[in-house]
Amino acid sequence: MVDTATNRVALVTGGSGGIGRVVSERLARDGMAVAVHYAGNEAGADEVVGGIASAGGRAMTVGGDVADERAMAEAFDAVEQGFGGVDVVVHTAGRMVLGPLTDFDLDDLDGMIRTNIRGTFVVDQLAARRVREGGAIVNFSSSVVKLAMPTYAPYAATKGAVDAVGLILARELRGRDITVNAVAPGPTATPLFLDGKDEETIGHLSKMAPLERLGTPDDVAEAVAFLAGPARWVNGQVVYANGGIV
State how far the Cα of 36 lies from the Cα of 20, in Å rounded to an integer.
8
Which residues lie below 8 Å from residue 242, measured CB to CB, with a gap of 6+? Answer: 143, 184, 185, 186, 187, 209, 215
The catalytic residues are 155
First to last CA, the chain: 37
Longest dimension (CA), the chain: 51
E strands in the chain: 9-13, 33-38, 59-63, 88-91, 136-140, 179-185, 238-241
